[in-house]
Amino acid sequence: MKNDLIKNENRKNVLIGGAWPYANSSLHLGHLAALISGDFLKRYHELLGDNVLYVSGTDCHGTPITERAKKENVEPKDIAEKYHNEFKEIFNKMNFSYDLYTKTDDDYHKKHVEDMFLKMYKNKYIYSKMNLQPYCEHCGKFEADRELEIICPNCGLVSKGDQCDCGYVPTEEDLVGATCRTCGNKTVQKENTHLYIALSKFQNQIEKYVEKNQKFWRIASVNETEKYLKEGLKDRAVTRDLSWGVDIPIEGFEDKKMYVWIDAVLGYVTATQKICEEKGINWEDFWKDNNNSNIKMYMCHGKDNITFHTIILPVLLMAMEENYHLPDVMVASQYLNINSEKISKSKGNGITIGQMVEKYNVDSLRYYMIAYGPENKDVDFTIENYINIHNSDIVNKFGNFVNRTLKFKGLTEIPVGVMDTQVLKKINETYKIVSEYIENLEFKKACGKIIDLIEIGNKYYDERKPWIQKKENLDEFNNTIYTCTNVIANLSNLLEPIMPQTSSKLRGYLKIEKPSWEPIEVKEKIFLDNIEVLFERINK
Ligand SMILES: [Zn+2]
Ligand SMILES: [Zn+2]
């Protein structure tokens, strides 16, 4: 069965890739800050009438998970499964509207990633090379960087081989003769053959790609990518000596697994393939460039993942030589710090999303992350600041406007009146300007513009004094309430990408069938019963 929508020429096929969280600890507010933009964009493009697919999943492979499993005396699969289920539950609670949220430990994913890997190998962009590598004779295995221990040449303290607490990243030479963290013995250098991806062959193509698309990227993505391009792209190993991960479909590499980042970024493709198969639509409409393709592809992630999306993923797609569409828009967010400290697992200072949704309103939390999140610079999160924003923007401005209109004392139905032309003009403008901001990745400004409309509504209400009009001029009173109700109706559209639950509630009150991205006017007779207070003030 083919989906006819895909063939509609005016619609874009929008693919939104949300970063794949790593299955070794609970999701904290930093994750929410980085991932919320994906759901925001998904909902926005749906309102525009585009064909949207929003995919992501849990990143299940890699050494931190195997280490953790060993420590807890369970299988890596158990750790991955535990967090995958936890993540799914949290995303549900946050109303993330993924079309597919899958995981890298999924047979469909693994099979299709192996196929893609093989294509790159056949195209000779993946090649084998022998190297000397730390080997523990006692444990009988090659060691990953983080399984090693050295004295940090930068700070002089004991450090893991992948990165020191001081920030220093050890070089290959630093790791010669490093200690095995498992048994405490010194490692030796032993010959090992790995597969490499020829990133260096793509230097020119990536430069052209960045030049063409950077106007759609946040500045952090451009800067970080150019740093690597300036140094010159270097070939990189794509295999690891691990027992947990995606198999290497090439003879002689049966004892190795795929480097976790290769398999995770290709998950955007496999997840699209899987969901399209389920929906009976052609996945290539979202991934392949041909004459009539009209694709827009967003990648949403934190700034620690930039080059995996701006360099590695595009290289892998090009290396398949199958006319893949490269991601257009990079939505990288900065860091969310907690009480002026960087969130760190060892400090245990992260606040989990789970802890927040237990105590606070989901829509208010979503609003906070989009309107006050780390869009272009790191931001400092404190509970106090969050409560202030909730009480001022959400309760005092938005909640109050809805309350004083729809719960006006003695009012049982929305009167039919005439819409104020100035307010109507502002509503029309708001759609246009908010759209411009969103497409320019300025989500804070988009939220600010919506709050402006709420303020215009509140000011109009104050000036019209409906509590006096009701006694002195019923027609004018009707016009006031009718106009304010239409502001609320349009807010239910404009706020749908930010506060989906509240928007849906408002649509229920005002008999609006479905949200859309165009000015609307309530027409039906609307009775005002069962109107709830939307938001409660939080006491500090
Ligand atoms: Zn150090
Ligand atoms: Zn050892």
- pLDDT of 477 higher than 90: yes
Q: Last residue of some domain: 295, 330, 353? A: 353
Q: Last residue of some domain: 353, 373, 403? A: 353
Q: Last residue of some domain: 353, 381, 409? A: 353
135/117 same-domain check: no
pLDDT tens column, 10-24: 789 999 999 999 999
Residue 82 lies in a domain: yes
Which pLDDT band, with edges at 50, 70 and 90, does 63 fall under? confident
Quote the ligand 1 centre to 148 CA distance (angstroms). 14
CATH number at residue 10: 3.40.50.620
15/73 same-domain check: yes
Quote the ligand 2 centre to 141 CA distance (angstroms). 8
280 dihedral zone (left: phi>0; alpha: psi -120 to 50; beta): left
CATH number at residue 508: 1.10.730.10
Find residue 58's DSSP bridge partners: 103
Quote the ligand 1 centre to 351 CA distance (angstroms). 27
- In angstroms, the CA 212 to CA 471 distance is 63
134/120 same-domain check: no
160/184 same-domain check: yes
Residue 532 lies in a domain: yes
Q: Which ligand lies nearest to the CA atom of residue 148 in the structure?
A: 2
pLDDT tens column, 88-134: 999 999 999 999 999 999 999 999 999 999 999 999 999 999 989 99
Spell out the residues 6+ positions from residue 503 whose beta carbon is closer than 8 angstroms to its own: 491, 492, 493, 495, 496, 515
328/453 same-domain check: no
Residue 248 lies in a domain: no
Find residue 413's DSSP bridge partners: 527
Q: Tokens 């004991």 map to which residue?
A: 158
Spell out the residues 6+ positions from residue 270 whose beta carbon is closer than 8 angstroms to its own: 102, 108, 109, 112, 113
Share of the chain above pLDDT 70, in %: 97
Quote the ligand 2 centre to 167 CA distance (angstroms). 25
3-class SS at 290?
Answer: coil
Quote the ligand 1 centre to 169 CA distance (angstroms). 8
Structural domain harbouring 134: 126-197
Q: Write down the pLDDT at residue 347.
A: 66
Residue 336 lies in a domain: yes
56/97 same-domain check: yes
166/99 same-domain check: no
Q: Tokens 């000779």 map to which residue?
A: 124
C-alpha distances in Å from residue 4, one per residue of 8, 51, 98, 274, 358? 7, 11, 21, 19, 41
- pLDDT of 427 higher than 90: yes
Q: Write down the pLDDT at residue 196.
A: 97
Residue 538 lies in a domain: yes
27/58 same-domain check: yes
Residue 308 lies in a domain: yes
Number of domains into which the chain is organized: 3
Q: Where are the alpha helices (DSSP H) in 54-139?
A: 63-72, 76-93, 107-122
Q: Which ligand lies nearest to the CA atom of residue 181 in the structure?
A: 2
Residue 382 lies in a domain: no
Quote the ligand 2 centre to 147 CA distance (angstroms). 9
Quote the ligand 1 centre to 166 CA distance (angstroms). 4
Q: Write down the pLDDT at residue 346.
A: 62
83/48 same-domain check: yes
Q: Which ligand lies nearest to the CA atom of residue 153 in the structure?
A: 1
Single pTM value for the model: 0.93
Quote the ligand 1 centre to 275 CA distance (angstroms). 45
- pLDDT of 297 higher than 80: yes
Summary mean pLDDT of the chain: 94
pLDDT tens column, 349-374: 779 999 999 999 999 999 999 999 99
23/13 same-domain check: yes
pLDDT tens column, 369-409: 999 999 999 999 999 999 999 999 999 999 999 999 999 99
The answer to whether residues 457 and 487 touch, using CB atoms and an 8 Å cutoff, is yes
Which of 314, 346, 341 lies closest to 201 in space, CA to CA?
A: 314
Q: If DSSP states are collapsed to H, E and C, what string results for 445-514?
A: HHHHHHHHHHHHHHHHHHHHCHHHHHHHCHHHHHHHHHHHHHHHHHHHHHCCCCCHHHHHHHHHHCCCCC
430/501 same-domain check: yes
Residue 515 lies in a domain: yes
Which pLDDT band, with edges at 50, 70 and 90, does 345 fall under? low
CATH number at residue 169: 2.170.220.10
| For residues 146-173, average pLDDT | 91
Q: Which ligand lies nearest to the CA atom of residue 161 in the structure?
A: 1
Q: Where are the alpha helices (DSSP H) in 248-359?
A: 260-265, 267-279, 284-287, 306-307, 313-319, 353-359
Quote the ligand 1 centre to 176 CA distance (angstroms). 17
112/133 same-domain check: no
